[in-house]
Structure 1
Amino acid sequence: MSTGLSTDRAIVAPDQSLPPSVLWGEEIKASFNLAWPLVVAQVAQMALFTTDVIMMGWLGPKFLAAGTLATSLMSPFLLFGIGLITAVAPMMAQAIGARDFKSVRRTTRQGFWVSIVVAALLVGLIWNAEIIFLVLGQTPENASMAQGYIRFAAWNFFPAFLFLVLRCLLSAHGKTSVVLYITIVGIFVNAAGNYALMFGNWGFPRLELAGAGISTTFVNLVMFLLILAYILFHRRYKRYAILVRLWKPDWSRFKEIFRIGLPIGCTLTAETGLFAAATILMGWLGTDELAAHAIALQCASIAFMVPLGISQAATIRVGLAMGQKNSDGIKRAGWVSIFMGTGFMVTTCLAFWLMPTLLVSFYLDPALAENQVSLKLAVSYLAVAALFQLVDGCQVVTAGALRGLSDTKVPMFLAIFGYWALGLPISYVGGFVLEGGGQGIWLGLAAGLSFVAVVFVVRFTIRERLGLINYKSI
């Protein structure tokens, strides 16, 4: 029996449905089959955070406001790490397309290294969150409560990043359903942990926001251990031996992950940071505005999970075509994903316009008098959020297609300009100078997203003229 690379090729070759297709219909089918478990997994992942937000609302508006501040600070850091580590996805996909399975193993191991290093740095940066909130003009009570959550929840960076590396490994092979099942398990573990630790049920102490933070870290650890066990014992993936000689450095691959991943992380941070900055602006308006913003943002974030999942599939599909040096496959994979993601957001746009009261009532009880102001504000914010559903879906999927080409640096600069040079100033002017309040702030978000969507689509359209398709690098 042969050993080494030939064994890997026999055992872990990707599914037959994954290679770039010949016809548009085949590409639609292949992209859909790859994307739908990722989409549902993203929705399920968002359900973890949604569970936290809903249960924070059960504690009361002040807990919801403080929890929103905490998650708004954590999100840019978390998304930066996720974006950086997501670099392993196109690297794996291109390697599989070129049938270089040894590189997949190297990328997985160095992905673990990068995950641990980045997680340690990020935890240190947000550990003293109370000082950050006070400098940003938040109330001492909200700042203190938010830090209580972060001190426990920040540790989830370690298992969450490690989970992402293995998720990319399975996704690159078209095995996305396992990710979905594990994430669904995580929803129930998180809900049970919140119920026990936030409210003091089943004999546990009532820890309120700190309990939510503990539950968040625990559920991510459980999910990582489950996906690790699956890969270690599955006959196809265990031949990668991802934990063997894990301590052995591979500096060229380590640096390559940072080279591709840093711009991705900065791009995601720029977008998430825009929403975090909007949350800070909402905090200046008042607690009711902040609570309403949390609800509208949560609704928009749930809708965003679908095109985000499609964008991950786009990265894999375009990366596979890139690895096989198939220019037509790149075109089909990219455009099919873009139309899928944008098309879905038409439905969420209509939902935000037609049933906003129903959506916001899931978060705050409309029968309670103290919730009325926040509920009315949330409905008005959703009306504005509906405006940018299409461009939000378009920009994230197109970004995924560009990442499949390992094109990350220029999109990073375009995103930073769109979000921070256009979006944030418009939010401030609309909210405070023109006295538009929360609606003015949300209009700024829409403006920033619209600019980024347009320039990303143009960049993918003229990808060959820009020299983005470079087969020599594979």
Structure 2
Amino acid sequence: MASITSPTQMSYGGHVRALSILGLPLIGGHLAQFAIGLTDTIMLGWYGVAELAAVTLAQSFFFVWFILGAGFAFAVMPMVASAAATGDHRRIRRATRMGLWLSLVYGMVAMPLMWWSEAILLAAGQQPQVAADAGSYLRIAGWGIFPALLVMVLKSYLAGLERTQAVLWITVIAAVVNGLVNYVLIFGHFGLPEMGLQGAALASLATQMVSVLAVIAYSLWRLPEHDLLRNLQRPDWEMMQEIFRHGLPIGLTTLCEVSLFTASAMMMGWLGTVPLAAHGIAVSVAGLTFMLHLGLSNAATIRVGNALGRRDRAHMVRGAVVVTVASLGVAVATALVFFLAPEPLILLFLDPDDPQKPEILAIGISLLAMAALFQLMDGMQAIALGLLRGLLDTGVPMVMAALSYWVIGVPTSYLLGFTLGLGGVGVWTGLILGLSTAGVLLLVRFWLHTLARVELEAVEAEVTTAAGVQGQATGS
């Protein structure tokens, strides 16, 4: 497949077209991936409020540990994109293989946390029945962390090569499988027993297995020149160290943001089952729109990484402007939907005959109004992180994220939600403040520091090259 990356002279219109070709399949892939968790939430919402609260808690717990390990996959993406720009197939293979290695090792560390999640959730102050239900879900679905992390690495490999349509269709197939298996196992259709929460867990695990088999088959079939399985059993310590050096800060950065939302879920759980269920619905809706920003962020990482491989700073700047404006447009559009039509969105998750529906609806509408407020800065921090990762600038953004989310966001949520008695609205105000702080800091980091560093390195490289040419001429 020919690269869609264009030379420095590409106009802004050209960048918009290139971003659409690369970014739309990535957005679709993220939406399909999100649909897997959303299907669990919607179907269990139909099944019962207690099950909805449990799966909200369980998925938040799973995602915290999954996203930390996914940092290695996110590190693979810009490294593959940069290597692809210079045609370095060996580096592409090395980065992908060691991403797979580190993901498997991390999965072994994380799986015991899934198995003993009930005790952890109880220690975190969750209600005993909700913790027990979430724990039973994770004892099954938790095994999916192994295939899920491998899928992330291979999707990052394909995305770095700009094969984003393959990523989209593999994820769509997985989402369809998940929906069908959920329908059969949760409610007990086609002669199978009604399994409820355990059925949803089995469906998620089956979906992850189908996904990993599909993405391995595609990679070996369509990209035989990379020979990904060659010497798979051999450690490549140098590349493993490089992936770890970039992947751990990326994982920790994403963990800081995700754990902000997990902490908010814990706090909402302290308020009761109904507020937690309303929170789960609002987070699911807001998360759905965030997939648009995340797809744009991944496209930014790929295009910046490719431009970095060619030392094309002007192309990088134009692309960054276009992706930032696109994210702004998405934020404004989705915020309007949240403000103007919250009720139909919330009712998608509820049984019409549920006696708790009016209370959940009232809380959910107020939370969606808050979600509309953080659309802008949530998108901006996602885009800024994507741009920075394309340049493999990972350490300082990790510190900025930790300060924004855990020094500002979480304490503010607790202060407003409980000390000042504002409840769920107070908890979500802390979310907004944390995301806004991160958005500002990360954008400043990219535009005022990292781009300047890239320009300086490019100048130094030109001077070194010129000096070498001059030395050869003098010697001759």
Q: Give the SS at the match of 1:467.
A: helix
| 8 A Cα contact 1:128 1:147, kept in partner | yes
| 8 A Cα contact 1:19 1:320, kept in partner | no
Give the AA of the match of 2:87.
R
TM-score (normalizing by structure 2): 0.93
Matching residue of 1:7:
none
| 8 A Cα contact 2:282 2:368, kept in partner | yes
1:197 aligns with 2:182: no
* Correspondent of 2:412 among 426, 443, 467: 426
Matching residue of 1:70:
58
1:448 aligns with 2:448: no
Give the AA of the match of 1:87.
A
* Correspondent of 1:167 among 155, 158, 163: 155
1:231 aligns with 2:227: no
- Offset from partner CA, 1:362-419 (integer Å, 9 cap, x none): 0013453322111110011001110000110111011000000000110000001000
| 8 A Cα contact 2:404 2:437, kept in partner | yes
* Correspondent of 1:104 among 92, 98, 103: 92
Matching residue of 2:453:
467
Give the AA of the match of 1:255.
Q
| 8 A Cα contact 2:367 2:425, kept in partner | yes
Q: 1:389/1:56 Cα in 2 relative to 1: closer, same or farther (>3 Å)? A: same
Matching residue of 2:254:
268
TM-aligned CA deviation for residue 207 of structure 1: 2.1
| Residues 175-184 or 269-278, more deviating | 175-184
- Offset from partner CA, 1:296-322 (integer Å, 9 cap, x none): 000000000000011001000000000
| 8 A Cα contact 2:72 2:99, kept in partner | no
Which stretches in structure 2 are left out of the alignment for 5+ residues?
462-476
Matching residue of 1:8:
none
Q: 1:138/1:323 Cα in 2 relative to 1: closer, same or farther (>3 Å)? A: same
TM-aligned CA deviation for residue 184 of structure 1: 1.1
C-alpha distance in 2 between matches for 1:182 and 1:467: 38
1:339 aligns with 2:325: yes
Matching residue of 1:18:
5
Matching residue of 1:58:
46
| 8 A Cα contact 1:77 1:122, kept in partner | yes
TM-aligned CA deviation for residue 74 of structure 1: 1.1
Is the helix fraction higher in 1 or 2?
2
Matching residue of 2:400:
414
Give the AA of the match of 1:262.
L
| 8 A Cα contact 2:57 2:134, kept in partner | yes
C-alpha distance in 2 between matches for 1:15 and 1:153: 38
1:125 aligns with 2:113: yes
Q: 1:203/1:422 Cα in 2 relative to 1: closer, same or farther (>3 Å)? A: same
C-alpha distance in 1 between matches for 2:364 and 2:399: 32
C-alpha distance in 2 between matches for 1:345 and 1:228: 35
Matching residue of 1:295:
281
Give the AA of the match of 1:391.
M
1:326 aligns with 2:312: yes
Give the AA of the match of 1:330.
M
Q: How many pairs were matched up?
A: 458
| 8 A Cα contact 1:342 1:391, kept in partner | no
Q: 1:33/1:60 Cα in 2 relative to 1: closer, same or farther (>3 Å)? A: same
| Residues 225-234 or 436-445, more deviating | 225-234
| 8 A Cα contact 2:393 2:450, kept in partner | no
1:23-62 equivalence runs, <5 A: 23-62=11-50
Which stretches in structure 1 are left out of the alignment for 5+ residues?
1-13
* Correspondent of 2:74 among 78, 86, 89: 86
Q: Give the SS at the match of 1:454.
A: helix
* Correspondent of 1:135 among 123, 148, 167: 123
| Residues 185-194 or 330-339, more deviating | 330-339
Matching residue of 1:211:
199
| 8 A Cα contact 1:19 1:97, kept in partner | no
TM-aligned CA deviation for residue 18 of structure 1: 2.2
Matching residue of 2:298:
312
TM-aligned CA deviation for residue 204 of structure 1: 2.3
TM-aligned CA deviation for residue 21 of structure 1: 4.5
TM-score (normalizing by structure 1): 0.94
| Residues 121-130 or 266-275, more deviating | 121-130
| 8 A Cα contact 2:80 2:157, kept in partner | yes
C-alpha distance in 2 between matches for 1:272 and 1:20: 36
Q: Give the SS at the match of 1:357.
A: helix
1:257 aligns with 2:236: no
Identity over aligned residues, as a percent?
A: 41
TM-aligned CA deviation for residue 174 of structure 1: 1.5
* Correspondent of 2:347 among 348, 352, 361: 361
